[in-house]
Chains A and B, each alone.
Chain A
Amino acid sequence: MLLNVNGAQHAVEAAEDTPLVYALRNQLGLKGTRYGCGTDQCGACYILLDDRAVPACDTPLWAAAGKRITTVEGLGTPERPHALQRAFIVEQAAQCGYCSSGILVTCAALLARNPDPSDVEVRAALDRHLCRCGTHNRIVRAVLRAARELRSGQAA
């Protein structure tokens, strides 16, 4: 089966009902998509399917085929970070960081459709994501910082 992941085509050998999270992690070595619950209850494994944030644990391969899959690795790299990734580092918006990947992906989708979200809107967008370390407020600050940065970048 062919998957379009982070802009490149990858051949994956797996049953078509295999949850995408296992193919990404074990076949393609993209460990950034973290497994948390397996039933779309925690948000740790979110990826973008085209432009929508969805759980990779609850997305079978057949549903991902033919779509653009973006993982946290596809958002940016240390050399060319996404504004969100830069902001998460500046705000030190993590403790254990296990929930970070899914949150970054959801926020990338959020900022793409709403470049100027309010604090309340960011929280609402993240309500499907659990953070156990209690870094929620840092994360919200980081998202608002990234949004500001993206807006000023576009204006410039």
Chain B
Amino acid sequence: MNLAYRVGSDQASGAPRLPGSLHVNRRLSQWLRIGADGVVEVSVGKVEIGQGIATALAQIAAQELDVAFERVRMIPASTARSPDEAVTSGSLSIQESGSALRYACAEARSIYLAAAAAKLGVPVELLRIADGEIIAASGARTSYWQIADDGLLARNATGTVAPKPAAALDVASAAAPRLDLPDKIFGRPRFVHDLELPGMLHARVLRPVSPFARLESLDAGRTQALAGVIGVVRDGNFAGVLADREETAVKALARLAADTRWSEAETLPDAAGLKDWLMAQRAETKVVDERAPDAQACVAKTLRASYSRPYLAHASIAPSCALAQWRGDALHVWTHSQGIYNLRTDLALAFGVPPQRITVEHAEGAGCYGHNGADDVAFDAALLARAANGRPVRLQWSRADELAWSPFGAAMAIELQADLDAAGAIVGWRHELWSNGHTSRPGRAKSPALLAAWHRENPSERLLAVNPPLANGGGADRNAVPPYEFAARRIVNHRLLDMPLRTSALRSLGAFANVFAIESFLDEIAAEQGEDTVKLRLRYLSDPRAKAVIEAASARAGWRGWQRREGCGHGIGYARYKNSGAYCAVAAEVEAGREIRVRRLVIAVDAGRVVNPDGVANQIEGGAVQAASWTLKEAVRFDRTRVTSDAWETYPILRFSAVPAVEVEILDRPEEASSGAGEAALGPTAAAIGNAVFDALGVRVRDLPITAERIVAAAG
């Protein structure tokens, strides 16, 4: 999804293949610095987005270097110094950044050991390291901190120093407290929202009233007359205000909005007929995967069902925010983007300046679940900062901007067919899906993928969302290939060639809907055959790790001993994320009253070797709760012209009193490669809930979200 784009091209010529991001960022000094002050500075290109990655990477560095965890200081990513690790996405940070850091630190350790050996006149083999102290068998000693010399790491990694074996990992396999939490719990400045620069102005941006609206007229007079307003900016359909104080910027924006006139048209689909609309659009059609198309199985019966999910919003708790400052033609941006280098590439395109003139620095935002408004707001800030005479500008989106203008997770329609033979065995499987592409991220095209670039006087092309190749995890087709051993299968993806609502990467991309569909359909087949749905899955799986998570989740949930109660049901869902990542099975228990209440989610996960078990548990729990919210409540609302779900009242999410109990069992596999955990639980949770609803009510809801109205409609 991210780094894979570059690996293989940039440095393929002659240089040996190095692990993860080290392959394209070979300089050891880019990754770490050992200081005379007893601190190890670790600099990575992956960023903290609330997932706890900084902590896990610090554990890895501490482990490989043999220093105390507390000595590691994680340096915020910046294009001025950090390795380019493309985008923090796809649950790949432990693989890409973690493996790079593991090898870089192992090599740094050996370089320092050699230096210590020379200094002490002792062979390397007779030295050991304890919290940075380098001690000879004879008792002679020195330390990283005494030897500290930046020159030692000013060289390229060779990848020849093996990191520690799995059995030797104690720090990088145990729960570690998150490094960033104290600031957040004590309310200290930590977020990009909290940055304050000398002379800083506050800005607000005026978004169009609907996705394709045109700004017919704007009268800036009354706004400019407000005390404290520094400027009003207009560039085509893009406009904004600058003020000396934040509350003034807010007031000025309201005034400006009242003094503008827009023209708009009905450009959006009929929300009530979204599935039909998706299936009727112009599309690029691709057979994603096919097995034994010519098999002559004896098909006794073919079952069919179609499923869908609506557009989903990121619905971050914080409105996107950025700071920008111009000094001549040099631009400095502070952002919570997932990809600082990619953002820099698109800013350079948009402003027509060389990337070297732009510094993009990361500062944390609120929880990020994919391509949200972070990049867009950074561009907005940089556009408005051009009117600030060199002063820094802080721009924060409104709640309405955040909910209505961040890219959406794409709506999807899915049709499934299963061929059964006379004995009821599944001998053929067809999965066809319709969806916009699942990524519109910056930094990958010839024109900028930044929202305001579409709205300026000279607009950029509205780039259609695309899908990463299936080999890299896929997009709309992520997890569309079933993990089950069916003799024949055919997977087809129709990527829409019109995009009335901007779509891009939202946590798990197409996997959420594909897994919901596959696992619901299997449940329907099991019901049709009168077979236990867990047994049916196990029968068609060959991978022992897959079977293990299903068995663990169903055992812990008490699947076999389930006591049927009126209005209650249980269900199961399984997937291996991207068919190559973490294995996850979820058992759900629901209670159907006026609306569906999920009571309990029992989850088993196998993410290979685990660096921070509590980090994995937190990600799995969080993913499951978010998926429960998507499954039960969420849909972007719109009429034919405007997005109407632009407040929490119109885009409700699951609240404390409705959140289910969640139990997570981690099946640790220290000898297996680590895989990310952030997105593994989403699809299986949705399916488990849907299946539990069927178990409780005998009603199959195939179109998300599973609301009371949908249940009534499905029952009818």
Binding site for B on A (CB under 8 A): 14-15, 18-19, 22, 25-26, 29-39, 41-42, 44, 71-73, 75-78, 81, 85, 88-89, 92, 94-101, 104, 120, 122-124, 126-127, 129-140
Interface residues of B (CB under 8 A from A): 49-52, 177-178, 180-191, 193-194, 196, 245-247, 250, 315-319, 364-369, 396, 398-399, 614, 618-619, 621-626, 629, 647-649, 653, 655-657, 659, 661-662
A96 x B185 contact (CB < 8 A): no
Instruction: Closest A residue to B612 by CB, please name it.
Output: A92
Bound Cα distance from A15 to B340, whole angstroms: 38
Determine the residue in chain B with the shortest Cβ distance to A105: B187
> Bound complex: CA of A31 vs CA of B250, how far in Å?
18
Do A132 and B319 have beta carbons less than 8 Å apart? no
B49: which A residues are within 8 A, CB to CB? 96
CA distance A98 to B316 in the complex (A): 10
Q: Residues of A contacting B51 with CB < 8 Å?
A: 95
Closest Cβ neighbor of A30 among chain B residues: B187
CB pair B662–A132 under 8 Å, yes or no, is no
* B230 shortest CB reach to chain A, Å: 15
Instruction: Give every chain A residue within 8 A of B318 (Cβ-Cβ).
Output: 34-36, 44, 98
- Pairs A–B under 8 Å by Cβ, sample size 22: A26-B196, A26-B246, A29-B196, A31-B193, A32-B186, A35-B319, A37-B399, A37-B647, A42-B648, A92-B618, A94-B184, A96-B366, A97-B184, A97-B185, A100-B185, A124-B657, A131-B656, A132-B653, A133-B626, A134-B622, A137-B625, A137-B661
Is the beta-carbon distance between A31 and B181 smaller than 8 angstroms?
no
Is B622's CB under 8 angstroms from A133's CB?
A: yes
- The answer, among B50, B246, B317, B625, for a CB contact under 8 Å with A22, is B246
Q: A85-B186, A92-B177, A134-B624 are in contact. Are A41 and B648 (CB under 8 A)?
A: yes
B618 touching A95, Cβ below 8 Å: yes
Q: Which chain A residue shows the least CB distance to B624?
A: A134
Given A35-B193, A85-B186, A89-B181, verify A133-B367 contact (CB < 8 Å): yes
Which residues of B have CB within 8 Å of A44? 317-318
Query: B623: shortest Cβ distance to chain A, in Å?
Result: 7
Residues of B within 8 A of A124 (CB): 656-657
Residues of chain B within 8 A of A19, CB atoms compared:
247
A120 and B193 alpha carbons, distance in the complex (Å): 33
Residues of A within 8 A of B661 (CB): 137
Q: Which of A15, A32, A101, A123 contacts B247 (CB 8 A)?
A: A15
Task: A78 to B187: give the CA distance in the assembly, Å.
Answer: 10
The interface residues of chain B lying within 8 Å CB-to-CB of A140 are 656
Residues of A within 8 A of B181 (CB): 88-89, 92, 94, 97
Contact B624 A72 (CB under 8 A): no
Q: How far is the CA of A75 from the CA of B366 in the complex (A)?
A: 22
Q: Which residues of A contact B365 (CB under 8 A)?
A: 96, 98
> Measured between C-beta atoms, what is the minimum distance from A94 to chain B in Å?
6
A133 to B180: give the CA distance in the assembly, Å.
15
Name the B residues within 8 Å of A26 (CB-CB): 196, 245-246
Bound-complex Cα distance A39 to B245 (A): 19
Q: How far is it, in angstroms, between the C-alpha of A32 and the C-alpha of B368 when the chains are bound?
A: 19
CA distance in complex: A43, B339 (Å): 29
A101→B187 contact, CB < 8 A = yes
Contacts of B317 in A (CB 8 A): 36, 42, 44, 96, 98-99, 130-132
Residues in chain B near residue A123, CB distance under 8 A: 656-657, 659
